[in-house]
Chain A
Amino acid sequence: MTQMNMVQAINDALRIAMRKDERVVVMGEDVGKVGGVFRVTSGLYDEFGDARVVDTPLSEGGIIGAAVGMALYGMIPVPEIQFSDFIWPAYDQIVSEVAKYRYRSGGEYTSKMVIRTPVGGGIRGGHYHSQHPEAQFIHVAGLKVVCPSNPYDAKGMLLASIADPDPVLFFEPKRVYRAAKGDVPEGEYTVPLESAAVVREGRHVTVIAYGAMLYEALDAAQKAAEQGIEAEVVDLRTLWPVDIETIIASVKRTGRLIIVHEAPKTCGFGSELVSLVCEKAFYHLEAPPVRVTGYDTPFPYTLEMEYLPLSHRILPAILDTARAV
Chain B
Amino acid sequence: MTSAAHESIYTAALSDDDVVRVLGPDGSLDARNDPGLSPEEVVHLYRHMVLTRLVDDRLVTLQRQGRIGFHIGSLGEEAAIIGSAYALRKQDWLFPCYREFGAALLRGMQLERYIDNMFGNANDPVKGRQMPDHYTCKAAQFGSVSSPIGTQITQAVGFAWAAKIQKRDLVALTYFGEGATSSNEFHNGLNFAGVFKAPTVFLCRNNGWAISVPTERQTASRTFAEKGVAYGVPGVRVDGNDLFAVIAVTRDAIRRASAGEGPTLIEAITYRMGGHSTSDDPTRYRDKSLLDPWADRDPLARIKRYLDKQGWFTEAEEQKLRTEIDARLRDVVEAAEKTPAPSLESMFDDVYASLPWHLREQRAEVLAGPRAPSAHH
Contact = CB atoms under 8 A, between A and B. Distances in A.
Given A58-B149, A86-B149, A301 B370 contact: no
B232 interface: no
A64 to B, nearest CB: 12
B120 interface: yes
Interface in A268-309: 295-298, 300-308
Given A85-B148, A295-B362, A313-B370, A58 B130 contact: no
Interface stretch (B14-22, B40-48, B83-91, B342-350): B342-350
Given A29-B211, A306-B347, A58 B183 contact: yes
Nearest to A128: B147
B285 A33 contact: yes
A46 B179 CA distance: 24
B366 interface: yes
B354 to A, nearest CB: 14
Contacts of A179: none
B341 interface: yes
Interface residues of A, number: 44
Contacts of A136: none
Contacts of A33: 212, 284-285
B352 to A, nearest CB: 10
Contact of A312 (B146, B218, B342, B371): B371
B183 A302 contact: no
Contacts, number: 144
B235 interface: no
Contacts of B148: 85-86, 88-89, 128
Contacts of B369: 312-313, 316
A172 interface: no
Contact of B212 (A55, A297, A306): A55
Interface string A140-152: 0000000000000
Contacts of A37: 211, 279-280
Given A32-B212, A55-B212, A297 B183 contact: no
Nearest to A123: B69
A58 B342 contact: no
B285 A307 contact: no
Contact of B129 (A29, A89, A301, A308): A301
Contact of A305 (B285, B348, B374): B374
A61 interface: yes
Given A37-B279, A128-B146, A129-B131, A298 B344 contact: no
Contacts of B279: 37
B98 to A, nearest CB: 10
Contacts of B341: 302-303
A96 interface: no
Contacts of B280: 37
A288 to B, nearest CB: 15
Interface in A86-138: 86, 88-89, 124-129
B247 to A, nearest CB: 28
B219 interface: yes
Nearest to B281: A34
A301 B213 contact: no
Given A34-B211, A61-B184, A127 B130 contact: yes
A182 interface: no
- Chain A at the B interface: mostly helix, strand, loop or mixed? loop
A86 B284 CA distance: 24
A56 B131 CA distance: 26
Contacts of B146: 127-128
Interface size of B as a range? 35 or more
A202 interface: no
A128 B348 contact: no
A222 B293 CA distance: 59
Contact of B128 (A62, A300, A312): A300
Nearest to A57: B182
B285 A127 contact: no
B222 interface: no
Interface string A30-66: 1011110100000000000000000111110110000
B348 A295 contact: yes
A120 to B, nearest CB: 15
B305 interface: no
B101 interface: no
Interface in B342-377: 342, 344, 347-348, 351, 358-359, 362, 366, 369-377
A302 B147 contact: no
Given A85-B147, A302-B342, A303-B347, A34 B376 contact: no
Interface of B: 69-70, 120-121, 124, 128-131, 134, 146-149, 179-180, 182-184, 210-213, 217-219, 279-280, 284-285, 341-342, 344, 347-348, 351, 358-359, 362, 366, 369-377
Task: Give the top 10 A-B pairs by smallest Cβ distance, nearest first.
Answer: A302-B128, A128-B147, A57-B182, A126-B131, A34-B212, A305-B372, A302-B120, A124-B69, A58-B179, A58-B182
Given A29-B211, A58-B180, 11 more contacts: A37-B279, A55-B213, A57-B182, A58-B149, A124-B69, A126-B130, A127-B129, A127-B147, A296-B351, A301-B128, A316-B369
23 contacts: A30-B211, A55-B213, A55-B217, A58-B149, A58-B183, A86-B147, A86-B148, A86-B149, A88-B148, A127-B134, A129-B131, A265-B358, A295-B347, A295-B362, A296-B358, A297-B347, A301-B120, A302-B375, A306-B344, A306-B366, A306-B371, A311-B373, A312-B371
Interface of A: 29-30, 32-35, 37, 55-59, 61-62, 85-86, 88-89, 124-129, 265-266, 295-298, 300-308, 310-313, 316
